[in-house]
């Protein structure tokens, strides 16, 4: 292989079309590297059809691809997401009493960048509600307010946000945009066989059931859990994480709003149940609700009953979609001339909506360091694989943190989740350290970790984790300064509540003003 001149993305789900769009944006009409991107997908094998919560990275990704925010909002029934509200994770509900906390996108810092957690730990920790004390965004979410005003501007915010979106419509938008504006070629066919060069093992072509044979210099495996190229063909080992993260099945339903005035939450609601948790995502036209559960701890029938109980009478005539998940990742997401992005490269449960963001990172990294020719592949692939292994491991640790701090003992699922044998060693070491010193930036050594200080603070102190403060840490804090800081944050919250519009109202206004 001389120069790499064409890339074949196999698979047309969210990961396939996002990857194709990001690569094509980089290489289409690029005078230095004009590479043709083709996407091949099967019309017989459906996409997963879920994946409605995103990460704030999505704003940059959409801007990079060249999609206007207004077009995205309208095409995808999209809404704003300011974080995740975790309900019943700390304790099981008692009657109508539910514990909750937020993992917000706004970090717990003041405008001047000063982290207020130290003051909170020193003087406020006995009052529950870390997320309310350290950021006005918790109050904004409680009131179902939007993170911006109608005049704030595209991709700009008053409080940090990501999106909720309709997965199927997002794929349609990306497909339309990539084929019409970025010259991505689209082939519909089902791959039956993969050809490899005998000497190198590189993939040379895919042969489809429809008699189509397509060659390419470089392949991206976006075939979902089938992992047709990276798994079945190139045999990259799968690192199973089901001993740490127990959930392996999901059921989902699309629930209409009661009426056109029903509030749209501007955050994802994640509610813990006996053998897993449910997501509740408000789009413009409906809610997407599902229960992610561990099949070793509950039956499919019981899981469906839990989901229907959560939704209430609105679920009566609705069907559920059943999904199996494989939790873990490929030891090498990049092998030979093939990179796996999306489910084919790995998946851990959707608790923190990490999967689509991993696709964005994978595709962007690939585009930024795309090899000129075959000789450059080994060095770039080694680095890529190191980054992704680290990223997966750290995501697994962060997700596990949500479970292992729980005080729930109402089912075997929760009892087993706090057993130290199920907690990764690196996470256990950190938790032990944080019993004496709260987390600091230096605890997160790599810039490739997806979740760093602020996220850990929200989960730890939202889950009422106890840090026995050492005097060295406390020196320099002053009660009166702390009181001033927290009353200022509270004041900012009051101003924001008056300043920001209702979330549904803003979404409807933005949609009606779009040409
Ligand atoms: C219950 C659940 C909830 C989730 N929630 C979130 C969330 O809130 N946020 C988030 O970021 N992520 C979430 N995810 C993950 C998210 O859904 C996926 O990351 C995303 O949809 C990407 O999927 P994919 O494109 O890799 O695979 P798929 O959607 O499965 O697409 C696979 C594609 O490959 C094609 N294909 C397969 N075999 C062949 C073949 N032989 N020939 C040709 N084509 C083939 C198929 O036709 C299809 O087009 C969730 C996942 C689950 C299971």
406 part of a folded domain: no
Å from CA of 36 to ligand 1 middle: 24
Q: How many CA atoms lie within 13 A of 32 on its CB side?
A: 5
Strand order in the sheet with 213-215: 191-196, 203-208, 213-215
Ligand 1 pocket residue status of 362, Cβ below 6 Å: no
Residue 232: give the domain boundaries: 6-77+163-241+327-389
For residue 165, which of 67, 260, 248 has the smallest C-alpha distance? 67
Residues in the annotated binding site for L-tryptophan: 352
Element (H, E) at 341: none
Q: 286 and 256 in contact (C-beta within 8 Å)?
A: yes
Ligand 1 pocket residue status of 290, Cβ below 6 Å: yes
Q: Ramachandran region of residue 67, left (φ > 0), alpha (ψ -120 to 50) or beta?
A: beta
59 part of a folded domain: yes
Burial class, 432, CB count within 10 angstroms (exposed 0-12 / middle 13-18 / buried 19+)? exposed
Å from CA of 146 to ligand 1 middle: 29
Task: Return phi, psi of residue 164, to 5°.
Answer: -105, 140
335 part of a folded domain: yes
12 part of a folded domain: yes
Ligand 1 pocket residue status of 53, Cβ below 6 Å: yes
279 part of a folded domain: no
| Full pLDDT tens readout for the chain, 515 residues | 568 999 999 999 999 999 999 999 999 988 888 899 999 999 999 999 999 999 999 999 999 999 999 999 999 999 999 999 999 999 999 999 999 999 999 998 776 777 888 889 888 877 769 999 999 999 999 999 999 999 999 999 999 999 999 999 999 999 999 999 999 999 999 999 999 999 999 999 999 987 889 999 999 999 999 999 999 999 999 999 999 999 999 999 999 999 999 999 999 999 999 999 999 999 999 999 999 999 999 999 999 999 999 999 999 999 999 999 999 999 999 999 999 999 999 999 999 999 999 999 999 999 999 999 999 999 999 999 999 999 999 999 999 999 999 999 999 999 999 999 999 999 999 999 999 989 999 999 888 899 989 999 999 999 999 998 777 777 767 778 888 888 888 888 899 899 999 999 999 999 987 55
Encoding tokens for residue 253?
């339903």
Q: 169 and 75 in contact (C-beta within 8 Å)?
A: yes
Ligand 1 pocket residue status of 35, Cβ below 6 Å: no
Residues in the annotated binding site for 7-chloro-L-tryptophan: 81
Instruction: Please name the residue whose Cα sits nearest to atom 37 of ligand 1.
Output: 223
Please give the Cα distance from 289 to 104 (Å, whole number).
Answer: 20
Q: What confidence score (pLDDT) does residue 514 get?
A: 57
32 part of a folded domain: yes
Å from CA of 14 to ligand 1 middle: 6
Ligand 1 pocket residue status of 50, Cβ below 6 Å: yes
63 part of a folded domain: yes
DSSP string, 452-488: -HHHHHHHHHHTT------HHHHTT--HHHHHHHHHH
Å from CA of 33 to ligand 1 middle: 29
Q: Which residues carry out catalysis?
A: 81
Å from CA of 395 to ligand 1 middle: 19
Give the number of other Cβ atoms within 10 Å of residue 419's Cβ. Answer: 9
Give the number of other Cβ atoms within 10 Å of residue 52's Cβ. Answer: 30
Determine the atom of ligand 1 nearest the C-alpha atom of 47: 29
Determine the atom of ligand 1 nearest the C-alpha atom of 222: 26
452 part of a folded domain: no
Residues in the annotated binding site: 81, 191, 352, 356
Q: How many domains does the chain have?
A: 1
Q: What confidence score (pLDDT) does residue 128 get?
A: 67
Task: For residue 180, give the CATH number of its domain.
Answer: 3.50.50.60
Pocket test for ligand 1, best of 8, 10, 11, 186 (most atoms within 8 A of CB): 11
């Amino acid at each position: 292989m001389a120069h790499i001149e064409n890339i074949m993305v196999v698979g047309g789900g969210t990961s396939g079309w996002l990857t194709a769009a990001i690569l094509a944006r980089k290489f289409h009409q690029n005078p230095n590297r004009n590479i043709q991107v083709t996407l091949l997908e099967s019309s017989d094998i459906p996409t997963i059809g879920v994946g409605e919560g995103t990460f704030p990275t999505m704003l940059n990704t959409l801007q990079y691809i060249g999609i206007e925010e207004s077009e995205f909002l309208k095409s995808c029934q999209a809404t704003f997401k300011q974080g995740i509200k975790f309900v019943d994770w700390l304790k099981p509900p008692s009657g109508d009493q539910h514990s909750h906390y937020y993992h917000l996108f706004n970090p717990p810092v003041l405008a001047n960048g000063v982290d207020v957690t130290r003051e909170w730990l020193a003087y406020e920790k006995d009052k529950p509600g870390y997320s309310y004390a350290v950021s006005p965004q918790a109050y904004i979410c409680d009131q179902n307010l939007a993170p911006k005003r109608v005049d704030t501007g595209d991709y700009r915010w008053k409080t940090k946000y990501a999106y909720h979106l309709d997965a199927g419509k997002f794929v349609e938008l990306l497909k339309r945009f990539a084929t019409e504006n970025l010259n991505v070629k689209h082939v519909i066919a089902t791959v039956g066989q993969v050809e490899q060069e005998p000497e190198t093992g590189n993939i040379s072509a895919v042969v489809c059931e429809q008699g189509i044979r397509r060659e390419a210099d470089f392949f991206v495996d976006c075939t979902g859990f089938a992992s047709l190229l990276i798994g079945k063909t190139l045999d990259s080992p799968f690192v199973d994480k089901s001993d740490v993260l127990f959930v392996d099945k999901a059921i989902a339903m699309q629930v209409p709003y009661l009426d056109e005035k029903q509030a749209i939450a501007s955050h994802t609601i994640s509610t813990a149940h006996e053998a897993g948790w449910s997501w509740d995502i408000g789009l413009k036209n409906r809610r997407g609700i599902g229960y992610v559960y561990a099949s070793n701890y509950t039956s499919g029938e019981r899981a469906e009953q839990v989901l229907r109980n959560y939704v209430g009478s609105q679920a009566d005539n609705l069907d559920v979609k059943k999904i199996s998940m494989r939790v873990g990742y490929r030891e090498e997401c990049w092998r030979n001339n093939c990179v796996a992005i999306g489910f084919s490269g790995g998946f851990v449960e959707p608790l923190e909506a990490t999967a689509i963001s991993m696709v964005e990172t994978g595709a962007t990294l690939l585009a930024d360091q795309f090899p000129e020719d075959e000789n450059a592949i080994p060095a770039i692939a080694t680095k890529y694989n190191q980054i992704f292994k680290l990223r997966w491991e750290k995501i697994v640790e962060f997700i596990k943190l949500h479970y292992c701090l729980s005080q729930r003992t109402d089912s075997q699922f929760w009892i087993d989740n706090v057993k130290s044998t199920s907690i990764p060693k690196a996470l256990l070491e950190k938790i032990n350290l944080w019993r004496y010193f709260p987390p600091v930036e230096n605890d997160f050594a790599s810039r490739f970790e997806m979740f760093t200080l602020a996220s850990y603070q929200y989960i730890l102190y939202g889950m009422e984790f106890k840090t026995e403060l050492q005097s060295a840490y406390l020196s320099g804090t002053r009660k009166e300064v702390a009181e001033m800081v927290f009353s200022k944050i509270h004041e900012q919250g009051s101003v924001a509540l008056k300043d920001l519009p209702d979330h549904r109202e803003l979404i409807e206004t933005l949609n009606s003003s779009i040409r």
